[in-house]
Amino acid sequence: MKYLIAVFAFCLPVAAESAGWRFEQPQELTPQGVGGHFHHLDGAGRRHVAAGTGGIAVTWEDDHSGAPQVYVVIRLNESNGFPARYQLSNGEEAYEPAIVSAGPGRWLAAWEQDENVVARFIDAEGPGPATVLAEDGARQVTLAGDDAGQVAAVWARDRSAGQLLESASLRIAGRAVELAELAVSVAPLQSHAYQGYPTATWVPDGRLVVAWEDRRAGHTRLFYSSRKTGGAFVAERQLNEHNEPPPDEALDVRLGSGVMRVMLSTDTGGNVRAIWLDKRDAASGYAVWGAASADGGRSFGTNAIVQDDLGSAVAQWHAALAGGPGGFVAAWDDTREAWGDESESGDVIISAQEDASWSADLVVPVASGEGYQGSPAVALDQNGVLHLVWISREDLSAPTRLFYTRAHREH
């Protein structure tokens, strides 16, 4: 064990240097409340930070008002900090927000609120009016936005036979969000007992690519599909490869090794990547696996593990993905540096993909160390600058703090 720790201590700084990122000092996004409260960066697609040409927006849920509600901060390009903070939700409880850029200095956010999915437009003047996108047990909403301001939403909704996904393009009329079309099903529910936790991304030919968790087989698998606005989704295809039980547990039931929380993103070259948490190696818990598409999300290649060997002995959690100029960045948290640390801490880790493979992992220097630093969300702006938000707490039960930083590639 001591030898392994020594190897870790020697290797990690090298990995950090080779990863080639220069991080700015983190900014705390919310004041610390008296007695503490709890922030969460949680939701389908982990779209909690949006980087557009006009600035940055971050959304999260916290309970400082006495109930879980959804908030946003925005920073315009000319600002040094995040001067504007707004409460977006206006119901009894709200969870799992997503936010995307909707043009220069414009954003669109959506979240779950009292079993509905609600959306609002945000700009320098603040939020516009709230619009209910879906009712009657709607949840797990995610958004996709592109440089032209095109925005689509995908959400899960209760049905008598289970839970299915619906999607609709959105438009902004004045300062209000509107459904630009009737919502359509992403995949038929007839044989789909459960579809959930969707993620979506636009590709250059104008199609929306969607991936999600699907439990029709009696265990969780990941599927993907796509459509052009106004059209129907094409027949879904399976994304994850490994889903059979080990041979020594060949029970007469439909079971799998476990996958969850898939993320999609597109880079400026039109390449699409997917990453997700995958427990095909049961001994170390969930790991981050991914797949690449070079044809705009019509097909994906062989599954490949994202994190490097230094992360293979511990579980990974909260995987997030951003695409932009120069490729993709994946982020997650794990406890590879927590051996012997009784606080059971986690740290934020990133890996960048520029060509065919993922870089050596980088333990983010400003989002690691004592206590827990995790639950990251990431975005890349038009200059390839990485924007990162995460949760910090003394341990996994302590009150939380919310931080933001940005990082520049070092060439």
Q: Contact residues for other proteins (CB under 8 A)?
A: 37-38, 40, 42, 63, 68, 93, 95, 137, 139-140, 158, 162-163, 193-194, 196-197, 213, 215, 217-220, 245-246, 249, 251, 253-256, 258, 260, 279, 282-286, 315, 317-318, 342, 344, 395-397
Interior CA angle at 267 toward 45 and 156, to 5°? 20
Minimal distance, residue 133 CB to other proteins, in Å: 17
143 φ/ψ angles, rounded to the nearest 5 degrees: -130, 155
CB of 276 or CB of 404, closer to other proteins: 276
CB of 248 or CB of 410, closer to other proteins: 248
Q: Tell me how far apart the alpha carbons of residues 404 and 82 are, in angstroms, rounded to a whole number.
A: 10
CB of 286 or CB of 403, closer to other proteins: 286
Minimal distance, residue 315 CB to other proteins, in Å: 5
Structure tokens at 18: 């080779």
Q: Tell me how far apart the alpha carbons of residues 33 and 351 are, in angstroms, rounded to a whole number.
A: 33
Minimal distance, residue 276 CB to other proteins, in Å: 11
53 φ/ψ angles, rounded to the nearest 5 degrees: -70, -20
CB of 214 or CB of 267, closer to other proteins: 214
Among residues 150, 167, 57, 38, the alpha carbon closest in space to that of 95 is found at 38
Minimal distance, residue 395 CB to other proteins, in Å: 7
Q: Tell me how far apart the alpha carbons of residues 149 and 146 are, in angstroms, rounded to a whole number.
A: 5
CB of 213 or CB of 381, closer to other proteins: 213
CB of 62 or CB of 267, closer to other proteins: 62
Minimal distance, residue 251 CB to other proteins, in Å: 6
Structure tokens at 186: 């992403």
CB of 202 or CB of 286, closer to other proteins: 286
Minimal distance, residue 367 CB to other proteins, in Å: 17
Minimal distance, residue 311 CB to other proteins, in Å: 13
